[in-house]
Amino acid sequence: MSASFSREVVLDRIRRATPGAAASGAALAEAYGAQPQNYIRCGAMSAGERVELMMQRLREYDAEVVECAAEELARTIATQLAASGRWRFVAPPGLPSEWLAAGFDWRIDEGLTAAEIEGAEGVVTAAFCGVADSGTIVLHHSASEGRRVLTLLPDWHLCILRASQVVETLPEYFSRCAAREQGSGVRDQESGNEGTREQGNEKMGTEGRWTREERTKRLPSLVTWISGPSATADIEMTRIKGVHGPRFLHVILVKD
């Protein structure tokens, strides 16, 4: 069987099995108007409660969390790094230089090999969003959040999350994704594309939704949702921290 032959075979079977299918892509958008969305989309917490819940959830995952004011951030990072007892760190290229505390061995990821990243004792990154309800940190892997491998191989991950990036529910994160009002932890190429945003506004549908074409372009192409350090419960359901991903997750929550 040739490859394109099987494609036609499978699609033909599907068409015969779904006689009620929409005739075109345009009709699909219609269908979505009927989706029941009476689950909780927006939370009801105050900003303070939201951050409190985020920290509580992170701690339940055995993550270390500290809070600090914006102007104390660089000092807090330095304290955290020192307390870790480690000194060889990697950082994504978009990380603000004032975050790179003096007195440590920094390697900036401008094409580091996996072995070089593996050799680091820790990594410091920004994040795209925090979801308080499940204590989830979301990375879109922009220049300040780093390539995927950067937050994977080192055993210790320090993540900087601003209070304004914390949402209460998972649906709120998805709304932020589509709207892209919120940039990444730090300004970088991800949030800078004004042209696209204005075009997007023009194309917004009457219900305030993006057209399908436009949404597709704006949605992230790489996402990692992190909820606590790597873990397994495969042996007798006993939760063990740190199988392959970082064993230690530290979070600094910046009040902004």
Partner 1 sequence: MSAAGEQLGGRAILDPALAPPFPVAALAVLRDPQLRKNVAHAIDVIQGKRARLVAEKPDWQALRAAASWIKDEALRNLGLYLEEFEARCTAAGGVVHWAADAAEARRIILDLLREEKASEVIKIKTMTSAEIQLNPFLEAAGIGVYETDLAEIILQLGEGEPSHIVVPALHVNRSQVREIFARRMGIRDLPDDPQALTAAARQYLRGKFLRVPTAISGANFLIAETGSVAVVESEGNGRMCLTLPRTLITLAGIEKVLPRFQDLEVMLQVLARSATGERMNPYTSLWSGVTAGDGPERFHVVLLDNGRTGILARERERQTLRCIRCAACMNACPVYRQTGGHAYGSVYPGPIGAILTPQLEQLRHSQSLPYASSLCGACFEVCPVKINIPEVLIDLRAQVTDRQRRRAGRFFDPLYLGLRAANLIFARAWLFHGAQWMGRMGLRLFTRKDGWIHALPGVGGKWTETRDLRGLPQQTFHEWWAARKTGTEGTREQGNKRAEAK
Q: Which of 33, 36, 103, 208 binds partner 1 (CB under 8 A)?
A: 36
- Which one of 28-36, 45-53, 95-103, 182-190 is the stretch in contact with partner 1 (CB under 8 A)? 28-36
The site for partner 1, by CB under 8 A, has a size of 78
The nearer residue to partner 1, 14 or 69, going by C-beta atoms, is 14
Q: Which of 33, 173, 193, 194 binds partner 1 (CB under 8 A)?
A: 173
- Which one of 30-38, 44-52, 78-86, 158-166 is the stretch in contact with partner 1 (CB under 8 A)? 30-38
Q: Sign (positive/negative) of CA torsion 63, 110, 94, 141?
A: negative
Please, which residues have CB within 8 angstroms of residue 174's CB and are 6 or more apart in sequence?
none
Site for partner 1 in 57-76 (CB under 8 A): 57, 61
Distances (CA, A) of 88 to 7, 64, 69, 102, 143: 50, 20, 26, 12, 20
Residue with tokens 């992190």: 226
Pairing of strands 105-108, 129-131: unpaired
Shortest Å, Cβ 102 to partner 1: 28
Shortest Å, Cβ 226 to partner 1: 6
Residue 42 touching partner 1 (CB under 8 A):
no
Site for partner 1 in 180-209 (CB under 8 A): none
CA separation for the pair 167, 52 (Å, rounded)? 12
Q: Which of 91, 77, 164 is nearest to 122 (CA)?
A: 91
The nearer residue to partner 1, 99 or 173, going by C-beta atoms, is 173
Residue 30 touching partner 1 (CB under 8 A):
no
Site for partner 1 in 113-172 (CB under 8 A): 114-115, 118, 131, 133-136, 141, 147-149, 152, 170-171
The nearer residue to partner 1, 68 or 161, going by C-beta atoms, is 161
The nearer residue to partner 1, 28 or 69, going by C-beta atoms, is 28
The nearer residue to partner 1, 75 or 212, going by C-beta atoms, is 212
3-state secondary structure of 170: helix
CA separation for the pair 57, 67 (Å, rounded)? 14
Q: Which of 230, 250, 251, 253 binds partner 1 (CB under 8 A)?
A: 230
Residue 33 touching partner 1 (CB under 8 A):
no
Burial class (CB in 10 A: 0-12, 13-18, 19+), 228: buried
Site for partner 1 in 75-114 (CB under 8 A): 111, 114
CA separation for the pair 248, 250 (Å, rounded)? 6
Q: Which of 114, 68, 120, 76 is nearest to 98 (CA)?
A: 76
The nearer residue to partner 1, 58 or 252, going by C-beta atoms, is 58
Residue with tokens 């951030």: 73
